[in-house]
Structure 1
Amino acid sequence: MKIIEVKNLKKSFGSIKAVKGIDFQVHQGQLFAFLGCNGAGKSTTIDMLCTFLKPDAGEVWIQGHQLQHEDEEIRKSIGIVFQDGLLDDLLTIEENMKVRAALYGLKGKELQKAINDIMNTMHIEKYAHRLYGTLSGGQKRKCDIARAFIHQPQILFLDEPTTGLDPQTRQEVWNTIYNLQKKYQLTIFLTTHYMEEAMSADYVIIMDEGEIVARGTPFQLRKQYTRDKLTMISNHHFIQEWLKEKNIQYIQNGTEITAFIQNTFEALPILNHCQKYIEDFEVTRGSMDDVFIQITGKELHI
C-alpha cells in the first residue's frame, strides 16, 4: 500500500533548480532511505513533503491527503526527528513531552496516557524527571524520537538521526527505532550519511543535482553498480600472470593482490587455481559507499 506518492515535484530558488520534477513512492511499513550529497535537493524535497515549503509544481499524497490542500491532516500523520533536537534544555523530559502533546490537542488523561505509552516504549521513563540538557547524546536522541511520535503518526521522518553518536549508541538508537517500527507498523523515511544504515533499508533513492539518479533495494543497487573484491596475500608472481591471462582486472599493493569480480562465486576458480601460491585471502562485497560514489562521483561527508 502506497503511503507517500510523489509526481513531478519541482522547486526552484531563483535560477537554481533545486528539485527538477521527481517521482517516487513509499509503501507502508517500509524503511525508505533518501540519500544525496549537500545540494542534491534532498532537504528541499523533505521540506516540501513535511509542509514546510511550497512546491512550484507537482502532486504529493501522504496517507491519502493531498499536499497544499490537506496540510493539517498531513502534519497529523507525520512525525519528524531533526538532526538538531527541538526539546527545551531547561525542562524535564516529562515537561517537554507535555508541551509537545498539547500542541496536538491532547489533554488530561489522554495526554498523560500518550506520554506514559511512548516513554515506556522508548525505555526513557527513567529520564522523566531529568532536564533534557543534562542527558547524553544517545539519551537525547531517544527523547527526540519520543517527541516526534507522541501523537502516534503513521510516518516518521528521520533526518540523520545518529550523526555524532558513537557506534554503540547508534546501535541502541536503531534498536529503538526498529522496535517502534515493528510495534506500530511504522513507515520510516530516512536520510543518513552512514551507508551501513542505508544497507538496512527496504528501498533506496539517490538524488544528485535535483534529480533521482538511482533507485532500488540495497541488493539491486550493489549488484548493478559495484563489483566484489578478492584480496589475496602472496609473494609469487604466478597470480598476477594468471589474472592477466584471464583478463581479470586487479590492483597490487605490496603483497596484497586485489582482483575485481562480478560476484563472490567468481572467486572460487581463482582460489582453486592459485591456492598453493596464496598465504591468505578475503572476499568482500561491494558496499553502499561504493554504490554512492559510482553513481554520483562524490563521497558523503558527515
Structure 2
Amino acid sequence: MALLSANHLKKSFGKKIAVKDISLQIDPGKFIALLGPNGAGKSTTISMLIGTLAPDSGNINFDAKIPNAQNYHRHIGVVFQESVLDGQLTVRQNLTFRAKMYKNITTHRVEDVLNEFQLLTVADQKYQTLSGGQRRRVDIARAILHRPALLFLDEPSTGLDIQTRNMIWQILNRLRQNEHLTIVLTTHYLEEAENADFVYIIDDGHVIAADTIPKLKATYAPTRLTLITSTPDLVRKNLPADLPITRTKTGLSIALSNSMASIPILKLIRPLISSFELRNGTVDDIFLTLTGKEIR
C-alpha cells in the first residue's frame, strides 16, 4: 500500500499553469527522486504534497490523511530550499523550540540528533553565524527531530561542497536503514538521484517519465561503445546486422544494454580498430534526452 499518492494534480497562478496533470505514488521506506528543469513544476508539486498549497483539482492521500490536517504534519518532515530557522537563536535553542511543538520529544532526542549530524561543537552558536553546510545540517536535523515517516528534501544540497553533501547523505542513508525513513528528493545535482528506488521526471507540469534508474537508463541512456577505426564500413560488415550502430567522425558508435555486451563485439573486430571507449549511461543522460539540452 502506498504511503502517499497523488492523482491528477493541477495548479495555476493566474494565467500561468504550473502543474497541468501530475500523478505519483510513494511507497513506504523508498527513496523517490523528482527531477525536472527550472520551471517544470517540481516545487509547486512538493508544496501541494506537503500541504502548503492546495491543488486546484486532483487529490492527495497520505496514509488516509489529507495534506492540511494536523496529524498529517506530525508524520512528515520538510527541508525547504530556504531555511525557516531563527538566525538569532542558537542551534540547540532552535531544535529545542521545535521539539516542544510535538508530544514526547525529550531533551535526549535533541542531543541525539545534534550528535547524529555532528553539530555538538556548534550547538550553542547562533544559527546565523554558521557556515552554509552547518546550517543545512541543522535544517535537516530539525526536519527529522520528530521521527517522521516521510521526509521531503527540496534542493537540500544546493551550494554545498562535496564533503558536506556526502556527510548528509551518509546520515540520511543510516536513517533510511535504521528508521525505515521514506525520502522524496528534488535536486539539480542529478548524481544524487543515482541511488533512488524510483524516479519521476517532470517537465511543463507533467510527468514525462517514471521508472527505476536501470529501466530509465536502458530506454533513454544506454551504455555506448565507441569504436575508433579508419575502416568503419569493414568493421560494420563484421558485426551482427541488428546492432544499433551509428557513424561518428572517428568510427562507429553502438548502443548496448550493458557493459558486458561489449566483450563479444570487441573480440569480433579487435584487429580492425585502433581504440575504443565504453561509457555507461548516467542520470544526466536520461535527463538531457527527455528534457533537451537547451538552457532555460
TM over 0.5: yes
Task: Tell whether the 8 Å contact from 1:6 to 1:59 is kept in structure 2 after alignment.
Answer: yes
d(CA) in 2 for partners of 1:276 and 1:9?
57
Question: 2 CA distance for matches of 1:297 and 1:152?
Answer: 39
Decide whether the 8 Å contact of 1:93 with 1:128 is kept in 2. yes
How far residue 260 of structure 1 moved from its aligned partner, in angstroms, is 2.7
Contact 2:235 2:272 in 1 (8 A): no
Distance 1:142 1:76, change over 3 A: same
Alignment of 1:134-145 (within 5 A): 134-145=129-140
Q: TM-score, normalised by structure 1?
A: 0.87
| Alignment of 1:261 onto 2:255 | yes
Once the two structures are TM-superposed, the CA of residue 188 in structure 1 deviates from its matched residue by 0.2
Task: Kindly indicate whether the alpha-carbon contact (under 8 Å) linking 1:101 and 1:151 is maintained by their aligned counterparts in 2.
Answer: yes
Residue 87 of structure 2: SS of its match in structure 1?
coil
Q: Which residue identity does 2:27 align to in structure 1?
A: H
| 1:71-86 correspondence runs (5 A) | 71-86=69-84
Which of 203, 210, 219 is residue 224 of structure 1 equivalent to?
219
- The count of residues paired between Structure 1 and Structure 2 equals 290
**C-alpha displacement of 1:300:** 7.7
TM-score, normalised via structure 2 length: 0.89
Shift of 1:241: 2.5
**Residue 237 of structure 1 aligns with which residue?**
230
Q: Using the aligned pairs only, state the percent identity.
A: 39
8 Å CA contact 2:256–2:262 kept in 1: the answer is no
How many Å separate the matches in 2 of 1:30 and 1:300? 31
Question: Which blocks of at least 5 consecutive residues in structure 1 are unaligned?
Answer: none
Superposed displacement of residue 60, structure 1: 0.6
Secondary structure of the structure 1 residue equivalent to 2:248 = strand
CA-based RMSD of the aligned residues comes to: 2.2
3-state SS in 2 of match to 1:114:
helix
For the structure 1 residues 277 and 134, does the alpha-carbon distance in structure 2 shift closer, same or farther, using more than 3 Å as the test? farther
**Aligned mates of 1:31, 1:12 — CA distance in 2:** 28
* Structure 2 equivalent of residue 195 of structure 1: 190
CA contact (8 A) 1:250 1:260 kept: no
CA contact (8 A) 1:79 1:149 kept: yes
Q: Paired residue for 2:50?
A: 50
Matched, 1:286 2:281: yes
Distance 2:139 2:234 in 1: 56
1:170 alignment counterpart = 165
Q: Secondary structure at the match of 1:17?
A: strand
Counterpart-to-counterpart distance in 2, 1:64 and 1:125:
38
Q: List runs of 5+ in structure 2 lacking aligned partners.
A: none
Contact 2:33 2:196 in 1 (8 A): yes
Distance in 2 (CA, whole Å) between partners of 1:44 and 1:197 is 21
